[in-house]
Amino acid sequence: MIRLVPLLGVLLLGATTAIAAGPDMGAVQKQATNWPAIFMFLFFVLFTLGITYRAAKGSKSASDFYAAGGGISARTNSLAIAGDYMSAASFLGISGLVYSSGFDGLIYSTGFLVGWPIVLFLIAERLRNLGKFTFADVASFRLDQTSIRIISATGTLVVVAFYLIAQMVGAGKLIQLLFGLDYLYAVVIVGALMIIYVAFGGMKATTWVQVIKACLLLGGATFMAGAVLYLYDFSPEKLFATAVQTHPKGDAIMAPGGLVSNPIDSISLGVGLMFGTAGLPHILMRFFTVSDAQAARKSVFYATGLIGYFYILTFIIGFGGIALLMSDPSYFKLGADGTTYDKIKDMVGGTNMVAVNLANAVGGPYFLGFISAVAFATILAVVAGLTLAGASAISHDLYAQVFARGRTTEKAEVNLSKLSAVGIGIVAIYLGYVFENQNVAFMVGLAFSVAASCNFPVLTMSILWRGTTTWGALAGGLVGLVAAVVMVVLSDAVWVKTFGHPVALFPYANPALFSMPLAFVTIWAVSSMDRTRRANRERAAFDAQFVRSETGIGASGAHAH
């Protein structure tokens, strides 16, 4: 474990370096205070703090804190999953990518969405039947607890670090643009609120914050997309025609290749987004909040429909931004002559704020205030889920199972988790401040690559292949994690544009197509060569694991309240 701590530091440093190389969308300039947005934002915060207070009174055990006692219904959990998934990257980042690159911006929403059938058919039921609080419980079910929990917690923390940066940047820019606060104050507010949600309310508070936010976001996005279509007689053809006439790239925005022109890079990005979904720790935790495997399966089924519908809306919002905003100079920073502007680079707030600016164009200042508050609520809810996942990895996987080896109390474990939430919140504030000018969808794409290369191979191989051993899973997880980060660092985005070298050592921007198979092959090869007594015992224990994963016999049920 001691040897792995410096490695984790190196990986996190590499991760943040890779993020720094993402597309620079331009700094946001502080704007005049938006009072409707502030009032709606304060109402949401006070309302959710009330939920947190009630949840804190009802959280009496570790199960309550980590998994809401397993008592969340399938429909409620599906809204919470959708809320976790409809993050700043989805709402702000994808609409911004569609605005700047056209049709190709959909590669992110398509990749995000098609990962859910994998979760539905491979992961959801087995996860609920085998696990307790975290996906490391599942991966270590028949394997060595110490080794597997270390690699699982390491993968979790790296993914959480990537994802948190994206959310903090989105939140900071939003407040800076609309609330008239400095960027530093903005990220401090987000960090403080997420610490309160997690440290006091646990999974119950996080779940209900997600549900409320999902309903508000779906409602707001539906109205915005409907308003855009109304202006074009509900004819997508008219909308697209106007967008083509307005966009500097013209017809090119309706063709592939505007965002990712290399086919191998496109496939690699899609692989990372698709399989990374099944390795995201804050998503996997949601399957422990329901009563049984059937509810877990229903949760994914309902959530998939909600998420798919939402991504259709972001597509319309992106093209609506092209058609309605590009020809209006009031949404841009004008040049020295007071009339000229770049339709992409000079947008007030950068292209991450397309959806927010479009809200003002179609609904006026009050709808702008509503969407601003909803977007901020979106980020708050997601960072709360991420913080809880990171805190549980530290307290449940590392402290309780690795250091204390089970010789601890639930109270001590939960208290450490709360302290961990505070620490993660402070780190998130710092990272959000340092990496201010990055596109949020790009950063989340990197998080998905790490999840697909480390968490997903370890989880699936431990569940589905009898021959998986501790040494195989440990080696494969480390190889996938290190390979994903190293390939990003050696790519053009970092090696050339950041470090100044003439030629990239890794020719592609997205590593998952290479790092994920490398992890699977390593797990298979090392496990096949492992002939120790422990490996034989682990293979023999597969039958018991298989029966429980398929039937749920022996799985913990929901807590009575």
Q: What's the CATH number where 143 sits?
A: 1.20.1730.10
Looking at the chain, how many residues does it have?
Answer: 561
Residue 89: the pLDDT is 64
d(CA 388, CA 420): 9
Determine contact, residues 80/207, Cβ cutoff 8 Å. yes
Residue 560 lies in a domain: no
State the Cα torsion 85-91-97-102 to the nearest 10°: 100
Q: What is the pLDDT of residue 1?
A: 40
d(CA 377, CA 209): 8
Per the domain annotation, does 32 fall within a domain?
no
Burial class (CB within 10 angstroms; exposed 0-12, middle 13-18, buried 19+) of 422: middle
Say how far apart CA 440 and CA 87 lie, in whole Å.
Answer: 10
Is 302 within a domain? yes
Vertex 249: Cα angle to 244 and 251 (nearest 5):
45
Number of H helices, E strands in the chain: 25, 0
CB neighbours of 445 closer than 8 A, spacing ≥ 6? Answer: 108, 269, 272, 273, 510
Compute the distance between CA of residue 284 and CA of residue 280 in angstroms, rounded to an integer: 6
Per-residue pLDDT of the chain (561 residues; tens, 9 = 90+): 434 333 334 333 333 333 322 333 334 455 556 677 778 878 888 887 888 788 777 677 777 787 776 778 899 999 988 888 887 667 888 898 899 989 888 887 888 788 888 888 888 888 888 877 888 888 888 998 888 989 988 888 888 888 888 778 777 777 776 667 788 888 888 888 878 877 777 888 888 888 988 999 999 999 999 999 999 999 999 999 999 999 999 999 998 877 877 889 888 988 998 899 888 888 888 888 888 888 889 999 999 999 999 999 999 999 999 999 998 998 898 888 888 898 888 888 778 789 989 999 999 888 888 888 887 777 777 788 888 888 888 888 888 878 887 777 888 888 888 898 888 888 888 888 877 765 555 567 678 888 999 999 999 999 999 999 999 999 999 999 999 989 888 888 778 876 788 898 998 888 999 999 999 999 999 999 999 999 999 999 999 999 998 888 876 654 444
> How many Å apart are CA 370 and CA 60, to the nearest integer?
35
Q: Which helix (H) or strand (E) covers residue 320, if one does? A: helix 293-325
The answer to whether position 54 is within a domain reads no
CA distance 350 to 366: 21
CA distance 391 to 113: 27
CA–CA separation, 20 vs 297, rounded Å? 38
Dist. CA 414–CA 430, nearest whole Å: 25
Angstrom distance (rounded) from CA 227 to CA 220? 11
- In a domain, residue 518? The reply is yes
Measured N-to-C along each axis, helices 470-489 and 4-20 cross at an angle, to the nearest 10 degrees, of: 30
Taking Cα atoms as reference points, which of 310, 304, 275, 383 lies closest to residue 86? 310
CA distance 33 to 196: 25
Cβ-in-10-Å burial (0-12, 13-18, 19+) of 197 comes to buried
Structural domains in the chain (count): 1
Domain that holds residue 166: 73-549
Amino acid identity for residue 160 in this structure: V
The residue assigned the tokens 């496109």 is 266
Global confidence as pTM: 0.82
How far apart CA 98 and CA 102 sit, in angstroms, is: 4
The answer to the question of residue 400 being in a domain is yes
CB of 173 closer than 8 Å to CB of 352:
yes
Write down the residue that tokens 């007030």 correspond to: 348
Helix (H, G, I), strand (E, B) or coil at 276: helix
Decide: 410 and 404 in contact? Cβ < 8 Å.
no
Contact assessment for residue 178 and residue 356, using Cβ atoms and an 8 Å cutoff: yes
- Residue 455 has a pLDDT of 92
Domain assignment present for 281: yes
> Residue 88's pLDDT is what?
64
Quote the pLDDT of residue 545. 92
Contacts of 230 (CB under 8 A, 6+ apart): none
- Residue 313, token pair as written in the block: 């809306």
- 122 is a domain residue: yes
Please tell me the predicted confidence (pLDDT) of residue 399. 86
* Under 8 Å between Cβ of 184 and 434: no
Q: Are 260 and 100 in contact (CB under 8 A)?
A: no
DSSP annotation string for 421-473: HHHHHHHHHHHHHHT-SB-HHHHHHHHHHHIIIIIHHHHHHHHH-TT--HHHH
Distances (CA, A) of 544 to 119, 131, 184, 256, 294: 22, 14, 52, 48, 20
Nearest-angstrom CA–CA distance, 276 and 515:
12
Q: What span, in angstroms and rounded, lies between the C-alpha atoms of 421 and 390?
A: 8
Separation of alpha carbons 481 and 8, rounded Å: 10
The reported pLDDT for the residue numbered 3 is 40
Cβ atoms 337, 165 nearer than 8 A: no
Torsion sign, CA atoms 214, 216, 222, 224 = negative
